[in-house]
Amino acid sequence: MVFRSLLLALLFLLVACATLSTADSFVAQGKEVAKEKKYEEALAYYEKALAVEPNNTSALYNAGVACAKLARNDKAIEYFQKTISSGDRDNYSHSQDAHYNIASIKLTQGKYKEAIEAALSNRPETDDIIKKALEKLKESGFQYAPYVQPLAKIEIPYPTDMSHFIGAKWPQEKVRVMLVAAIDNKGQVLLTKCYGMALCEYASDYIKHTSFLPAYDFTWDGTAASVTYFSIMFLSNAMAAVSWKSIVGAAPNGRLTKPPIIEEKDGAKIILGAIHRRSIDETVKRNLNHVLRCYEKELPKNHNLEGKIVVKFTISQTGEVTSTETYKSTMNNDTVEECVNSQIGKMLFPVPTDNGIVIVTYPFIFKHTD
């Protein structure tokens, strides 16, 4: 009996290895003919690979590239989205390239907001796409960006008595201070936090009295509260040089060196960007099948059911999800939305830094394909 079980296990392993080898073989053949620009033939090979192994990330990605070359943009985006959702940690570069390609296609289609949404997942490589899309949007009268914009030039004069702030060591050629500001979705500065010398407090007073055009969250298509880092360079007897960088939601390039505190409530610090974005993505992808079942259960009742659900949820100091809500949805199906929220609530994320909590908005796109 033991021998039979062992034999069956070996046979299963051999079949699995053969299946994997066959799928990879089809992908390799597809890549070879793609080099000769025979994209239709290459696509056929990738589809054969996917028939054997539906979640083969390399096959999904290359099928998307082939479709893009054949000007089948909608199908290309579908393959790229499946690449991103495949959850294959060993092919993270494919996922990042897929984000770039989706953004590039959306840009050529004139879907500029969607292009920016996709591009923000792969910065700084996609900064060129974001810049071009923003230029096109401004031509049409849309003035927002994924960062705050001052409504007037920020002017911080050189203090009349600099030694009061930094001591007798002045004059120096230049002194830089850093501060972080929480700015709401109306462009008003809620609070600022300084790092370092008293000179920062002096600069902070000017930032607090500046009105901004708020940052725009392209995931749920609306203005949003943000955290903005200001770098302020004081030059002797001149106006300070001010530069800034905004963060809407979790940090686009991972954990911040000094996570910004938005507010404190009941002793808990609300911190944006205190968990690496990739860690959040990986946790969601590990549990993605449970989320997909929410959609698949309702699909037989409505074969045209599709849409996008953006879930806003809070990750506690222990990594547990303490609250969820549907932030925006085009699904128009309460059952799917409630189920997705429920599945998010069961996930366990990495512990946030600095004993804080993290607020996340996360989009899910559901589309039925035959």
Task: Tell me the β-bridge partners of 213.
Answer: 149
**Tokens linked to 166:** 């930094």
**Statement to judge: residues 160 and 228 lie in one domain:** yes
What is the model's pLDDT at position 295? 93
pLDDT band per the 50, 70, 90 thresholds, residue 279: confident
CATH code at position 24: 1.25.40.10
**Statement to judge: residues 49 and 164 lie in one domain:** no
pTM of the entire predicted model: 0.62
What is the model's pLDDT at position 257? 40
Does 259 score more than 70 pLDDT? no
What is the model's pLDDT at position 141? 94
Does 79 score more than 60 pLDDT? yes
**Statement to judge: residues 274 and 356 lie in one domain:** yes
Residue 258 belongs to a domain: no
Strand, helix or coil for residue 370: coil
Computed over every residue of the chain, the mean pLDDT equals: 80
Give me the residue label for tokens 């600022």. 192
Q: Which amino acid is at 85?
A: S
pLDDT band per the 50, 70, 90 thresholds, residue 167: low
Strand, helix or coil for residue 38: coil
Residue 14 or residue 78, greater confidence: 78
Residue 209 belongs to a domain: yes
Residue 322 belongs to a domain: yes
Does 274 score more than 80 pLDDT? no
**Statement to judge: residues 92 and 163 lie in one domain:** no
**Which element (helix H / strand E) includes 11?**
helix 2-35
- Give one word for 233, left, alpha or beta, with left for phi > 0 and alpha for psi -120 to 50: beta
Q: Count of domains in the chain?
A: 3
What is the model's pLDDT at position 63? 94
Residue 227 belongs to a domain: yes
Residue 9 belongs to a domain: no
CA dist 187 and 194 (Å) reads 20
Terminal CA-to-CA distance of the chain, rounded, Å?
A: 43
Strands 307-315 and 356-366 come out as antiparallel
pLDDT band per the 50, 70, 90 thresholds, residue 166: low
Give mean pLDDT, residues 71-86: 89
- pLDDT over 70 for what percent of the chain? 79
CATH code at position 325: 3.30.1150.10
Does 107 score more than 60 pLDDT? yes
- pLDDT over 90 for what percent of the chain? 30
Does 265 score more than 50 pLDDT? no
Q: What is the pLDDT of residues 286-322, one digit of tens each?
A: 888 899 999 999 988 988 899 989 888 888 878 889 8
Does 326 score more than 60 pLDDT? yes
Residue 5 belongs to a domain: no
pLDDT band per the 50, 70, 90 thresholds, residue 256: very low
- DSSP label at 299? G
Give mean pLDDT, residues 351-365: 78
**Statement to judge: residues 123 and 94 lie in one domain:** yes
Contact (CB, 8 A) for 262 and 351: no
Residue 229, domain extent = 149-248
Residue 103 belongs to a domain: yes
Residue 109 belongs to a domain: yes
State which of 139, 164, 185 marks the end of a domain.
139
pLDDT band per the 50, 70, 90 thresholds, residue 169: low
